[in-house]
Structure 1
Amino acid sequence: MSTFDTRAAAALADPILKTAVERTAGTAEAKRALAVAAFPDFDAARTRAAAIKDHVIAHLGAYLEQFEANAVAAGAQVHWAATADEACRIVIDICKASGARTVARSKSMLGEEIGLPHALAQAGIDRIETDLAEHIIQLADERPSHIIWPAMHKTREQVSALFKAKHRTPHEEETIAAMAESARRELRTRMLGADVGISGANFLIADTGAVCTVTNEGNAELSLVPPRVHIVTAGIEKIVPSMGHAVHMLRMLARSATGAALTQYTTFYAGPRRAGDRDGPEQMHIVLVDNGRTKMREEGLADMLRCIRCGACMNHCVVFRQIGGHAYGGTYPGPMGAVLTPALDGLAQSRDLVHACTLNGKCQQVCPVRIPLPTLLKGWREKSWREGLEPTSMRFGLGLWAWVAQRPALYRFGAGLAVRAMRLLGRGGWIERLPLAGGWTRHRAMPKPAARTFMDQYRQERGQ
């Protein structure tokens, strides 16, 4: 695989990507601001949401047992998976036992995390992605670039060209409505005729054994109710104690993700079809997946298990808005991905991600469950340093800086000299291509420094 630096450089050099990402993320940021402004005591609601998640994480075993008992009582079959491979094996075994040749899959980031699309392909099972954006990703043979809008990196023009190349009856008019109708023609019959439906879960309700899914298109309902078998894959942290707690979390999720008061389709499933029901699957299987979550709780990352996958942190992230999601390389992009990926894939393979952050704190300010993302990222950086994962050049450079910083007079002399030199370079425009600063100036101009150092300005202010 390419390095993060290589992926980021390619993303920064792609002007179309920047346009596509800014269209969606910018709109999401504006809509969230309006939704929050119209929500009385939103900060208090965030505090309550964080408390709900912290309580569940602290008593996770008890709530999981309660959920299992109630789900089984409702007629569902519950399976436990410690790893991604085990989760995929369980799903494939259920599909094979059902004689399934096609599965209709509703959008699920956990499915991406455990590699379920690849597992289905290797098993020879035809996968139908029912979410419009996931359908686009499947046609393009790409990975999602955002957890809410998987195809946000593509422009409308690119999607149009893709549909014309891949759809049996493509659109003729260059309108969004015509493209959506083209996708509907392509997907509707196939999803209704699928043997198995597979979904994720936004929340698992402990006291009823119900599963909650949230979509904007109704694709979950169409792909999970008609098939004979419904399979849910969910992380064990998705548990909430009761329906009341779920409703509170839903209010936070919708506003943070899309800026809406409530998502268009919010559905609760409790077991398979019962006598007298007009529709529903004959079997319902729930696969509860750990895949490192217990380890995260035990090793200081319990705060990250609060995450409800709203995507607000990446919509507001100054780095994500420049490079998009694919540059991060893992299943989860943005600030939450920079914290999760080292836990899932190992710090040695993803240490660059924990440095791909300005630590400005905007992600923490908008998180609906108050996850201290900058603090968690700093924790990864400290661990990377302790374990000797930082390159020699980094360790030498920081060591040299620390040596100078401990000698105030020398530090002030060096800072003053640097400011004067940079201002001289600025007179001839050389500052825009400052030597030894190619990582910055390759994609943006180096700003001219102030006339005086910070310490000079500070002394003057204090004197006044």
Structure 2
Amino acid sequence: MNHAKRATEFNKDEAKVNWHDKALWYVREKRDKSAHNVHGWEYLRELGSALKANVLSNLDTYLVQFEENAKKNGVHVHWAADAKEHNEIVLSIMNKHKAKKVVKSKSMLTEECHLNPHLEKHGIEVIDTDLGERIVQLAEEPPSHIVLPAIHKTKEDVDVLFQEHLGTIPSQGNPEYLVGEARKHLRNKFLNADVAITGVNFAVANTGGFVVCTNEGNADMGVHLAKVHIACMGIEKIIPREEHLGVFLRLLARSATGQPITTYSSHFNKPEEDKEMHIVIVDNGRTEQLSREDFRASLHCIRCGACMNTCPIYRRSGGHSYDYTIPGPIGSILSPGKDLKKHSSLPFASTLCGSCSNVCPVKINIHEQLYKWRQVIVKEEPQPVIKKTIMKTAGKVLANPKLFEVAGKSARFALKHAPRFMVYNKLNAWGNARDLPEVKGDSFEEWYKKRNKNNE
């Protein structure tokens, strides 16, 4: 099932689609207000982009430096080539400690690697402790957004879900009550966990430490109570020096939710006494993406979700329609690199309006990369005969002024005088949900010539 078909399913509930659209646009507006309050915001974006470009050009050096410094701090460092190896490493650490209970803070990498089902298959309880992640875990769904994982659910949906799984009473979606019940539910999970797993927002090469950003403090709760901390990070999460954190921490939260900074920016450098800390550094296709000159800048991404909040397609099609761990515009660049055939529809799920590129805190040229993927896909993946025929015909018409003039006159005549069934048919996908605009009698060229003649 491609993106368009999945989006059609999402759009069956029009009221929910409208709510989803408005909720995400509200977050986008908060981002704008917050960014405009920062003197030199565009300079910060340029600096963030330049730092990321420097990292990608010297990735091997920074990764080795990070490993050396982390080991000096008493941290165990592991390397994983792919998701399978990542999952096996995490499981081996669990088995070494005879651990059966895990609390996990938000980590898109572990979602990407499908860590939860791998551990659960081996009899290990995995509890996602971010509230949004816990909601989708109870619903047995993947996150639909990388920062707001349960944004596709209303508070009334959560009310029903908690009644089913946590035994809560109906509250008509009262947020204070639901959050309080979630806190009670998670408290015992924190207290009884053997291992805490976190992601990594930024790993600092010159110190061997790393930073985890949360708004709920759940990463800190898990790490400080459990005997073992496992941090999972993609190779692109490296930054050169600790002073560079000031750039990215100012960009991240403002771009994600409009906050000046995340409520908790937790620094981890070495394990506490009598505890263990492990870092699993994962490639899983990132080196291959790095080798693609047109798409390597996608690895600048700091996972803020700003491109999703602004994208008119994402807002009205929902994250699950992308069928990929990272949805939205940035996911539509990353996914074809993992499986071109499966995700060939995603680069076309865009208007190419450029809004995603405009809000990206590290200035990834997202819409340009989407356009480049389209060119690759059209060459490498079979296209529907109707689509190929229409595109070839359109190419010939647009390349020939006389043909273009005739086609324009014919189209204007048809829109004015042809029966509706001839205009609104299977070939006119645009007309499935909207009427075409009313047309005037003249083309722009004809109007322009008449105007000039009248002004002489």
What TM-score results when the alignment is normalised by the length of structure 1?
0.93
1:148-163 matches, cutoff 5 A: 148-163=147-162
Of all paired residues, the percent bearing the same amino acid is 37
Structure 2 SS opposite 1:351:
coil
Match of 1:323 in 2: 317
1:439 is aligned to 429
Distance 2:246 2:422 in 1: 52
1:134 Cα deviation after fit: 0.6
Amino acid at match of 1:260: Q
Look up the SS of the partner of 1:33 in the other structure. Answer: helix
Q: Structure 2: 5+ residue runs without aligned partners?
A: none
Q: Give the corresponding residue for 1:395.
A: 388
Following TM superposition, by how much is the alpha carbon of 1:80 offset from its aligned partner in structure 2, in angstroms?
0.5
Code of the residue aligned with 2:92 in structure 1: it is D
CA-atom RMSD, angstroms? Answer: 2.0
Q: What amino acid is aligned across from residue 331 of structure 2 in structure 1?
A: G
Q: Residue 314 of structure 1 corresponds to which residue in structure 2?
A: 308
Q: 1:459 to 1:320 in 2, by over 3 A?
A: farther
In structure 2, C-alpha distance between the alignment counterparts of 1:374 and 1:251, rounded to whole Å: 24
Query: Aligned equivalents of 1:184 and 1:252: distance in 2?
Result: 29
Given the superposition, is the C-alpha separation of residues 21 and 432 from structure 1 closer, same or farther in structure 2, using an over 3 Å criterion? farther
Counterpart position of 1:254: 253
- Residue 89 of structure 1: aligned partner: 88
Higher alpha-carbon deviation: 23-32 or 229-238: 23-32
Amino acid in structure 1 at the alignment position of 2:179: A
Change (3 A) 1:51 1:459: farther
Give the C-alpha shift of residue 170 in structure 1: 4.7
Deviation at 1:41, TM superposition (A): 1.7
Write the distance in 2 (CA, Å) between the matches of 1:173 and 1:252. Answer: 36
Aligned to 2:296: 302
Distance in 2, Cα, partners of 1:254 & 1:461: 52
Q: What's the secondary structure of 2:127's corresponding residue?
A: strand
Distance 1:100 1:435, change over 3 A: same
2:423, 2:159 → 1: CA distance? Answer: 39
Contact 1:130-1:219 at 8 Å conserved across structures = yes
Distance 1:56 1:461, change over 3 A: farther
- 1:207-256 CA distance string (max 9 Å, x none): 11111000111111111221111001110000001111112111000110
Please report how far the alpha carbon of residue 11 of structure 1 lies from its aligned counterpart in structure 2 after TM superposition.
1.1
- AA partner of residue 227 (structure 1): A
Residue 4 of structure 1: how far off its partner (Å): 2.2
Equivalent in 330, 333, 356 of residue 327 of structure 2:
333
Alpha carbons 1:102, 1:195 under 8 Å: kept: yes
Q: Which amino acid aligns with 2:298?
A: M
After TM superposition, give the deviation of residue 112 of structure 1 in Å.
0.7
Out of 340, 346, 349, the position equivalent to 1:347 is 340
Q: 1:455 to 1:80 in 2, by over 3 A?
A: farther
SS of the equivalent of 1:232 reads: strand
Residue 289 (1) aligns with residue 289 (2): no
Q: Cα deviations across residues 105-127 of structure 1 (Å, max 9, x unaligned)?
A: 00111111111111112121101
Question: Aligned pair in 2 of structure 1 residues 210, 431: CA closer, same or farther (>3 Å)?
Answer: farther
Contact 1:171 1:179 in 2 (8 A): no
Structure 1: how far apart are the matches of 2:353 and 2:247?
A: 28
| Structure 1 equivalent of residue 183 of structure 2 | 184
Name the CA shift for 1:241/1:272 in 2 (closer, same or farther; >3 Å).
same
Matches within 5 A, 1:74-223: 74-170=73-169, 172=171, 174-223=173-222
TM-score norm. by structure 2 comes to: 0.95
Q: CA deviation at 1:205?
A: 0.6
Relative distance call for 1:411 and 1:164 in structure 2 (3 A) is: same
In the TM superposition, residue 186 of structure 1 has moved relative to its aligned partner by 0.7
Other-structure match for 2:413: 420
Alignment partner of 2:400 out of 385, 400, 407: 407
Aligned 8 A contact 2:156 2:172 in 1? no
Q: Deviations over 1:294-330 (max 9, x none)?
A: 1111112211010000000010001011111011111
SS at match of 2:193: coil
Cα 1:284–1:458, aligned 2, differ >3 Å: closer, same or farther?
farther
CA contact (8 A) 1:210 1:271 kept: yes
**1:388: how far off?**
4.1
* Distance in 1 of aligned mates of 2:55 and 2:368: 22
1:442 is displaced (CA, Å) by 3.0
Name the residue aligned to 2:367. 374
3-state SS of the aligned residue for 2:136?
Answer: helix
Q: Is the 8 A contact 1:169 1:186 kept in 2?
A: no
Confirm or deny that 1:359 pairs with 2:358. Answer: no
Task: Tell me the SS of whatever aligns to 2:279.
Answer: strand
Structure 1 equivalent of residue 53 of structure 2? 54
Task: Report how far residue 17 of structure 1 moved.
Answer: 3.2
* Cα pair distance change 1:391/1:170, threshold 3 Å: same
Q: Deviation string for 1:54-81 (max 9, x for gaps)? A: 0000000000001000111111111111
> Which deviates further from its counterpart, 114-123 or 100-109?
114-123
Deviation string for 1:315-363 (max 9, x for gaps)?
000101111101111111110011111112x111111111111101110
- Please state how far the C-alpha of 1:175 moved relative to its aligned partner: 1.8
Cα distance 1:75–1:322, how it changes in 2: closer, same or farther (>3 A)?
A: same
Report what 2:70 is aligned to: 71
Measure the CA separation in 2 of the matches of 1:64 and 1:450: 62
> What is the deviation of 1:446?
3.1
Distance 1:460 1:90 in 2: 74
CA distance in 2, matches of 1:99, 1:135: 24
The 3-state SS of whatever aligns with 2:142 is: coil
Distance 1:217 1:450, change over 3 A: farther
How far, CA to CA, are the matches of 2:173 and 2:449 in structure 1? 62
Contact 1:210 1:268 in 2 (8 A): yes
- Equivalent pairs counted in the alignment come to 453
Q: Distance in 1 between matches of 2:421 and 2:51?
A: 51
Query: Could you tell me which amino acid in structure 2 is paired with residue 311 of structure 1?
Result: G
Residue 44 of structure 1: aligned partner: 43
